[in-house]
Each structure stands twice: as structure tokens, then as C-alpha cells.
Chains A and B, each alone.
Chain A
């Protein structure tokens, strides 16, 4: 039951993950992914039809904050590591076309 990952899938996942792999990397990543998925398919041996998916291991619930302002002007700290900034804002390539 070997998984086969197409080039299109790799391309698509690259768009989702915002990663651009070189051809060489892509080939290797494809093989790795295939063998990982083959291995992951082992989970299908388990009958989990009556099992609820468990995202939290403990039954923790209702962790809340009260609606009280505690933070002051965080601008300088927020921008302290910016690769590119102008005054009080981050700078990115234009996000809208034309």
C-alpha cells in the first residue's frame, strides 16, 4: 500500500507551507514523505471507530482572562526585531496587485 506523492501535490503543499524546495530537495522530500506516510498508514490497523479524537490529555476547561487592560504602549518592543520598519510600522512587499 505504498503512497505515491505527485509533483503537483508537492507543489501544492509548498504553496500551503510557503516553502520553495530545489528540485533536489523536492525529490528527497517526496521520498521521505512517501515512506513516512507508508509508515503512518500503520495506524489503519487500529479500529478507532468508537474512539473520540483526543486533543487535550486532561479535561481542562474554561481558562479565562477578565476584560481588564494591563498592557501599555508595546510598539517599540513589537518592532524591535523587525527586518524592515518605517516609523511605527512593519514594512512588507505590496500586498495588493495593481
Chain B
């Protein structure tokens, strides 16, 4: 039996039933990683020793009744921007090439409490800045469906690792689409929860007002289960929200009868690949057949989301990344003259081009004389975008659309034109600006065989709506394993 082809929940059941040991599950993942990493490069760090030791410990915990949850003993991969105590955490950047956190991110602690075995840290765009996982200082991750293509980003390592079946599930983070877009490109499922649902404590910040951690897995059931585990009110995160309706798995119901679903016309217009459009409309049709009321509507302001997003994200990033200065941790340049030279050289050598580009932009838009014109303008636009969604959710339970205008581009195609790359985020960034939950589920493939994802967006705190709709849609098709997974 190929354990890696199981979903996390399926494996969890087998472990609980003593059909599979935690160590077997862990070794299977490690073997898969050894076999596939040359091709995919989805990991920055694989913690073989730690994972095997932890597997024994968790097995004991399962046997003595300490760990009883659905994912006890199931190995997981963590995006490399979440702190893991004593385990290298780099954000795929040279500037953190040797950083060993002294504490573990709250979301990861929640997984550990549920009996997770961490097998390693996944590759990403440097500091989550990018849409292709090509800006990593440790080499690009490849798409398991076609290794000449990118896996998307920034959680490309997490999504590729799940699609390539190097692990059973993974955690990603989403600032402007970084879970939903690579999930779409890799043919897996990923959720970006409502802002404040999963603690950001220990998540190395990119855009603090936009960042959320979320699950990446093979199906909706896994994602709902994982999200239920990682969700917690955390008093260490002031933006953490106390929620009561976090029994997300209760929404795993195959029933959309009477559910009102809107498709923004603005999401289907110019720039959208016809094959992607067809797949989305076909998915909408399926939901309609199942009893949902589906209609097109005008969301408005879609074209303003990207400029507002890039101003806000770059501004916050320029400040969040100021701490990487060669003083307290990470990379310090070899030779320098005086303090400011040390700062400049350490940062210029430690950060890659995309990160530097966004820090420069962010510093500029906040600088004296420009703050009102750029930053405040972007915050006002954000308020308008939120209003547009509020209006839409007064009418619809769920909004659906593509997660990206195209399927995964070829490696090297995107970085040459940053603006074009940014435009690829058109369907995802507004969700972060408005703090909404979103999920991507596979809904088809293009003529090249690359996966297409369907994005479902819910109102704030209404994860259950999108989980139910996504789960219902998922029942209409089989999960497709990527060629690398099958190999």
C-alpha cells in the first residue's frame, strides 16, 4: 500500500486502528522525500532524525491515550516562515540561513498537541514575496504536474510537497493568495482562514495586517480537520479573534441546496485564460445542479485591489523586515566599516532582488511627503473593497471564481516582469484586504494537463459556508494524483 496516497484523515484512522505505525508513516514520507526531492525541491530542511524520534514518542502517546485526535501520528510539513524551536527556519532567505528559533509558532504547537510529527520545513518565495517559489534563496520548487512549470507561491513548497506526495499535509501562509494560488497550480486544496482565526505568533511577518496561516492537503475534509486543530484564540497575538464556531468539520456536508452563490463578472473578463474560465463555469454548473442558486454579479473595484495590496503589503514588509540587520540573528556580512555599512552590506547581501524591491517600494510609500498619497489612499481603498464584499455577502453565501488567471506558468517566465507577476494575484489579494476566508479546490486541468483550481470566498467568520460548498463540489469529481506522486 502506498501510504502517501492516503489523505491525512485516512492515515490518521489507520494509525488509530494500529494498521500503520507512526514510524512507518514517517519513514514512508522520508523515503518519498529522498526519492522526489531532486525533481521537486519542495523542502528547505528535512528533519529525519527529529521526525523519527518524535514518531516513537507520538506512537507511545497514541497507545497510552494522550493523543486521540484525527491527525495523531500523521507527519506534516511546515512552511519555512513558521518558527520551530531548534529547527532551522529560513524564510527561504540567505539572511536567515542559520536561524534556529528559540520558540515554536502557536499554530505548530497546536498541531504538536494533536500528535503531529514534523518532517521538515518547506520551500517558499523568500519571505513569502512572490507567486512562483522562484525567489527562494535555496532554488525554485518545481510543479509536480510538470517540472518545467512553477508550483505557484509563495507556499509553493507546501503545495508541491502535498501534490508530489512527499508528505500527507502541510501548513502554508497566505498574505495575498499564497495558499490559494499554489494550491490551484498544484491541484491540491488549501484554506486561507478569516484574519485572526489562526494565531500569527511565530509566523515571520510579511504583511502583518494580511498574513494568515492555513492548511494545504489533498481534500476538503483534511483541510477542515487541520483548520479545526490549528485554530485557537491566542493571547500572545493581539489580533487573534475569540471564536466559538470553530467546529469546521461539522460543515463537511454534501448539500448546497438553496445556497446562494455569486460569480463576480469582474473575475471572468479580460486576462482570464479561456480554459480556466471554462473550468470555473463548469464547476459553477455542477454546484447549480446540486441545488445551489448561482448567478453572476458585479463585485466592482477588482482592479484596485492589486495596487492597494502592494502598497500596504510593501509598507508593512519594509518595517517588518527591518529587524534583519546582522545584529541579533542571521547573516552578517564578513567585512564592513562601521555600523551603517554593516547594516547595508548584511541586508543587501542577505536579501534577494524581489525582497529588496518590495522593501524599497514600501520605504518609499511611507516616506515623508508620500504617506497620504499612497499609504492612506490604499487604506481608504481597502475600506471600499471591504464595503463591496459586505454588499455582496448581503446577497450571497459564497462567492466563487478562479484563484489565478492562468494555470502554472513555466519556470523563469514570471520574474522578468514583476508587474505582470503581481497582476496574477488579481483574484486573491482582495480576500486578504477584506480579511475574508477563502478555499481553493481542484476543478479541472488545462490542455497541457496542468491543474485548475476553483476559489470559494466566504464572508468573515463564515468558513463553514465555503467548506460546505467546496466539499459538495468535491464529491462531483475524483482526486487526481500528480505524475510525480504516481511515479
Contact = CB atoms under 8 A, between A and B. Distances in A.
Contact of A43 (B308, B327, B332): B308
Contact of A13 (B102, B364, B435): B364
Interface of A: 9-10, 12-14, 16-21, 25, 28-29, 32-33, 35-36, 39-46, 48, 51-58, 60, 63, 65, 77-78, 80-84, 90, 92-95
A19 B195 contact: no
A52 B341 CA distance: 40
Contact of A60 (B241, B325, B328): B241
A82 B419 contact: no
Given A19-B347, A46-B381, A57 B98 contact: no
B434 interface: yes
Given A19-B356, A25-B353, A93-B342, A56 B363 contact: no
Contacts of B378: 40, 43
Interface stretch (B18-26, B179-187, B265-273, B382-390): B382-390
Interface of B: 98-100, 102-103, 195-196, 209, 235, 238-239, 241, 301, 303-304, 306-308, 310-311, 318, 322, 325-332, 336-345, 347-348, 351, 353, 356-357, 359-365, 367, 374, 376-384, 386, 418-419, 422, 433-435, 460
B307 A55 contact: no
The 8 closest A-B pairs by CB, nearest first: A53-B379, A81-B329, A57-B435, A48-B380, A83-B332, A54-B383, A77-B102, A20-B344
Nearest to A55: B379
Contact of B328 (A12, A21, A32, A81): A81
Contacts of B209: 55-57
A7 B435 CA distance: 37
Q: Is the interface of B mostly helix, strand, loop or mixed?
A: helix
B360 A58 contact: no
A51 to B, nearest CB: 4
Nearest to A30: B360
A94 B380 CA distance: 43
Contacts of B376: 53
A92 B116 CA distance: 40
B435 A19 contact: no
Given A16-B367, A93-B342, A36 B419 contact: yes
A33 to B, nearest CB: 6
A40 B374 contact: yes
Contacts of B196: 58, 60
A59 to B, nearest CB: 11
B381 A43 contact: yes
A32 B384 contact: no
Contact of A19 (B301, B342, B348): B348
Given A10-B360, A48-B381, A55-B379, 16 more contacts: A19-B347, A25-B353, A28-B353, A29-B360, A33-B360, A33-B364, A43-B304, A48-B377, A51-B383, A52-B380, A57-B195, A60-B241, A78-B102, A83-B330, A83-B332, A93-B337
A51 B336 CA distance: 48
B380 A93 contact: no
Contacts of B340: 18
Contact of A18 (B347, B357, B361): B347
A81 B98 contact: yes
Nearest to A5: B364
B359 A19 contact: yes
A21 B356 contact: yes
B341 to A, nearest CB: 8
Contacts of B348: 19-21
16 contacts: A10-B360, A12-B367, A18-B347, A19-B360, A32-B357, A32-B361, A32-B418, A36-B422, A40-B365, A43-B377, A48-B381, A51-B384, A52-B380, A80-B102, A82-B328, A83-B327
A29 B344 CA distance: 16
